[in-house]
Amino acid sequence: MPTIAALPYPYKFPDDPQVALLIIDMQRDFLEPGGFGEALGNDVSRLQAIVPTVQRLQQAFRDRNLPIIQTVEGHQPDLSDCPAAKRDRGRGQLRIGDFGPMGRILVLGEPGNQIVPELLPHMSETVIRKPGKGAFYKTELEIILQANAITHLIITGVTTEVCVQSTLREANDRGYRCLLVEDATESYFPEFKQATLAMVRSQDALLGWTATADQVLAGLS
């Protein structure tokens, strides 16, 4: 049985591959200047730094013909799927739906809403568009996982304590065994990232496992 040297103890997944790579919200809105992340006052360069590591995992899954699912956080142009409580949040100049340097902030199809060029999906790969933080909320993700008999999720992306952690918790409640890749996820706040990693693997993997990308790659081959 393939095994990844993870924390708090080894992560095993079945020989018959039921494992998928989940890449959360690696979109320009969060990673590039002029998007939602920067509009909220964050330094986006921290997030850009993980792109090569996520890319390595993406390539490894492609090489093995294993499923890759990406998510993008975004709203319909009429914002009908954006609750007022989300749109009104914050005191910055730019809010969801406003025109920014990369088009309308966090609106589906706008330039800022595109996945960063390094991680663009192949035609055969799934992209889930989600209106919330968790990737299961009002999306087809669970149906896709069930249709492909996927039981194990290797989770990457941004931001660690928001969309990544929300998704991991939703997945855990639905019975998926989740491993969060330590150096393929990032937060605008380093202390939040570290706290999330610790939370996930605490109490003997109450929510899941963590491992580095190298450990994941060693376990895959």
Active site residues: 25, 130, 163
Minimal distance, residue 15 CB to ligand C5J, in Å = 33
The nearer residue to ligand C5J, 163 or 220, going by C-beta atoms, is 163
- What's the min distance (Å) between Cβ of 164 and ligand C5J? 7
Nearer to ligand C5J, 36 or 209 (CB): 36
Question: Could you tell me the smallest distance in angstroms from the CB atom of residue 194 to ligand C5J?
Answer: 16
Instruction: Indicate the residue among 65 and 93 with the shorter CB distance to ligand C5J.
Output: 93
**HEC profile of the chain:** CCEECCECCCEECCCCCCEEEEEECCEHHHHCCCCHHHHCCCCCHHHHCCHHHHHHHHHHHHHCCCCEEEEEECECCCCCCCCHHHHCCCCCCCCCCCEECCEECCECCCHHHCECHHHCCCCCCEEEEECCCCCCCCCCHHHHHHHCCCCEEEEEEECHHHHHHHHHHHHHHCCCEEEEEEEEEECCCHHHHHHHHHHHHHHHHCCCEEECHHHHHHHHC
CB of 28 to ligand C5J, least distance (A): 12
Site pattern 157..176 for ligand C5J (x: CB under 6 A): -xx--xx-------------
- Closest to ligand C5J by CB, 130 vs 201, is 130
**Does residue number 73 form part of the binding site for ligand C5J (CB under 6 A)?**
yes
Binding residues vs ligand C5J (CB under 6 A) = 25, 30, 73, 158-159, 162-163
